[in-house]
Structure 1
Amino acid sequence: MYDLTGFQRDLLYVIAGQEEPHGLAIKEELENYYEKEIHHGRLYPNLDTLVDKGLVEKGTKDRRTNVYSVTRRGTRELEARRDWENQYVDLD
């Protein structure tokens, strides 16, 4: 996960936190977090990068809608990231 941008990591977290979200649902979550508009030209190429890296799987809901889910590898990467973060930040 060290080679992902912060935006790509945030995408991965959002996808992991929802049940097969579609692109616009992911976009909405990130817009709420960033408090600004996320353009399709930024969102979809970064989603494709996560798919290409094997962290996210892209499926189809219908002819116009893609859905995304985190792969086993993506889950392992998220867990490793959480372990790494916990070495430096203990919020308990």
Structure 2
Amino acid sequence: MYDLTGFQRDLLYVIAGLDDPHGLAIKDELENYYEKEIHHGRLYPNLDTLVEKGLVEKSQRDRRTNEYTTTRRGSREIQARAEWEAEYIDHSS
């Protein structure tokens, strides 16, 4: 996970958290968070990178819609990142 950009990490978290993780739902969720438009030219190449790294699996729902799900490796990476962050965040309390 250390080699992902912040945007790619956010994509991974959103995919893991959505009940229906297809391209436009992911895009909408990120636009709400970033409070600005996420262009397709930014979204889909970064999704493809997550697929290439084995963190996300891409499948076709229908002819126009792709679904994205975290792989076991992606879920492990999210958990490891949360534990690493907790080492630093928990010390501030």
Q: 2:76 maps to what in 1?
A: 76
How far the C-alpha of 1:20 sits from its partner, in A, is 4.1
CA RMSD between the two structures? 1.2
Shift >3 Å, 4+ stretches:
none
Q: Quick one: percent identity of the two aligned structures?
A: 77
Unaligned runs of 5+ residues in structure 2 are: none
Q: 2:12 maps to what in 1?
A: 12
Q: How many residues align?
A: 92
Q: 2:37 maps to what in 1?
A: 37
Q: 1:88 maps to what in 2?
A: 88
SS of residue in 2 equivalent to 1:58:
strand
- Give the structure with the higher percent helix: 2
Q: Distance in 2 between matches of 1:20 and 1:48?
A: 18
The TM-score, its normalising length taken from structure 2, stands at: 0.95
Q: 1:51 maps to what in 2?
A: 51
SS of residue in 2 equivalent to 1:89:
helix
> In the alignment, residue 81 of structure 1 is paired with which amino acid?
R
> In the alignment, residue 82 of structure 1 is paired with which amino acid?
A
The TM-score, its normalising length taken from structure 1, stands at: 0.96
